[in-house]
Amino acid sequence: MSVPEPTDMEERRHLPRHRTFLQGRVFYNNRHQSADCIIRELTDDGARLSFTDPVALPHAFELHIPNRDQTARVETEWNHGTEIGVSFAKTDAHGAATIAPAINAATNEQSPLERIEKLEKELAALRRRISEIEMKSS
């Protein structure tokens, strides 16, 4: 009996993934357009972004994490409508190293309890934001 070949997705996921629930914003079209997202997973190589509606993004764009005040240049690896997989560019537009390891270092340094508390605060903030948006649209 032979061992099944790993799929392309399995091969690409050679780095450990860290589940997250971070608010994010993508900027594109020379920062003239943006869209909010949730960063669901992070590795040193990339991230999985979730949007409320399908969004048409260029191949390369910027990913900003407001509560960490960090921005990285990313490239689309796959797009499944409301979810997009991105890889961190090796360098940004100015040739500087990307901040992907710094993003993940902040996640890795927290204990599970600290991470849960932080995620609960982020969830509460997102719920408040949703309530504000719903109130404005009524």
The full DSSP string for 75-135 is EEEEEETTEEEEEE-SB-TTSPBPSHHHHHHHHHTS-HHHHHHHHHHHHHHHHHHHHHHHH
- pLDDT score for 97: 46
The SS3 of residue 29 is coil
What integer pLDDT is reported at residue 96 of this predicted model? 47
Average pLDDT over residues 114-118: 80
Residues 35-42: what's their mean pLDDT? 94
Rg (CA), the chain: 16
Does the pLDDT value for residue 4 go beyond 90? no
pLDDT at 31 over 50: yes
Q: What is the pLDDT of residue 14?
A: 57
Say whether domain 16-137 belongs to CATH 3.40.309.10. Answer: no
User: For the chain, which residues make up each domain, given as ranges?
Assistant: 16-137
**Is it the case that residue 107 has pLDDT exceeding 60?**
no
Say whether pLDDT at 90 is over 70: yes
